[in-house]
Amino acid sequence: MPHSVSGVEMRKRQAAHIEAPPQAPGQPRPNTCCLCWCGCCKCLWNEDRIERSERQTCTKMDSIEAAEEQRPSLEELLSWARSFEMMLRSLEGREIFRDFLRSEYSEDNLLFWLACEELKKETNPSAVDEKARIIYEDYVSILSPKEVSLDSRVREGINQSLTEPSNTMYEEAQLQIYTLMHRDSFPRFLNSSVYRDLLDSRRRTCLDT
C-alpha cells in the first residue's frame, strides 16, 4: 500500500529532527499544518506566517512614522498665514517659528512670551514668587544677557511689582513683545525659506497622493 509506506517514511524523517512526547489518540496537535504534522518550530509554514506578521508590523510602524513626519499638515501651515495667534497655539508652529527667530537672534522674545504664559497659569504664591523672579532675572533685568526690548514705562511698572509679585505682573510686557513679534518678526517668517520651503513640500505631498 503506497500510501501507508509514504506515511511511515514521513514519520521516520520527521522523528530525526524532533522528539515529540506521546499524545493521546484523537487529541489535536498545536500549530499543525498540512506540511508539518508535528507542529514544530522548524515548519516552513510557521516561519512564513511569522515573517508575514513581522512585515505587517513594520509596515504599520512605517505608516505611523510617515504620518508624524508630515506634521504640520498643509491645512495647519495655511492657517498660520491667516492667524499669528493660531500659529502660537500650535506646538509645531511655535517650534518652527522659534527656529526662525533663532536665525534672527530674537528667540528670547518668544521664550519670554512663553514664560509669561506659564506664570499666568500658576496659582501657588511661592511658585509665583519664584517664577516671577526668574523671568525678571532672565529677560527684564538690564544685567540679563537675554534682555527683551521693553519701553521704560513698562519696565518701571515691573520693577514696582517685584515687591509683591503676581501671576499677571508681566501682562503688559507680554503684550508688548507679542505685538513686536506679530508686526515685525511674523511677516518675515511667512516670507522666509523656513516657512515657504515647508509649505511647498506639503503641497507636493498632497499632489503626489
- Please report, rounded to a whole number, the percentage of residues in the chain having pLDDT higher than 70: 66
Give a yes or no: residue 125 inside a domain. Answer: yes
CB 181 within 8 A of CB 98: no
Give a yes or no: residue 39 inside a domain. Answer: no
| pTM, entire model | 0.66
What Cα–Cα distance (Å) separates residue 175 from each residue in 110, 117, 189? 12, 11, 19
Number of Cβ within a 10 Å radius of residue 183: 10
Q: What is the pLDDT of residues 129-142, one digit of tens each?
A: 999 999 999 999 98
Task: Report how far residue 89's alpha carbon sits from residue 81's, in angstroms, rounded to the nearest whole number.
Answer: 13
In this predicted structure, what is the pLDDT of residue 6? 53
Q: What is the pLDDT of residues 70-97, one digit of tens each?
A: 579 999 999 999 999 999 999 999 999 9
The number of folded domains in the chain is 1
What average pLDDT score do residues 194-198 get?
95
Q: What is the pLDDT of residues 43-69, one digit of tens each?
A: 544 555 555 555 554 444 444 444 445
For residue 111, what is the domain's CATH number?
1.10.167.10
Domain boundaries, position 197: 72-206
Quickly list H helices, 70-192.
74-82, 84-89, 91-103, 107-121, 125-135, 152-161, 171-180, 186-190
Give a yes or no: residue 21 inside a domain. Answer: no
Give a yes or no: residue 137 inside a domain. Answer: yes
Mean pLDDT of the chain: 79
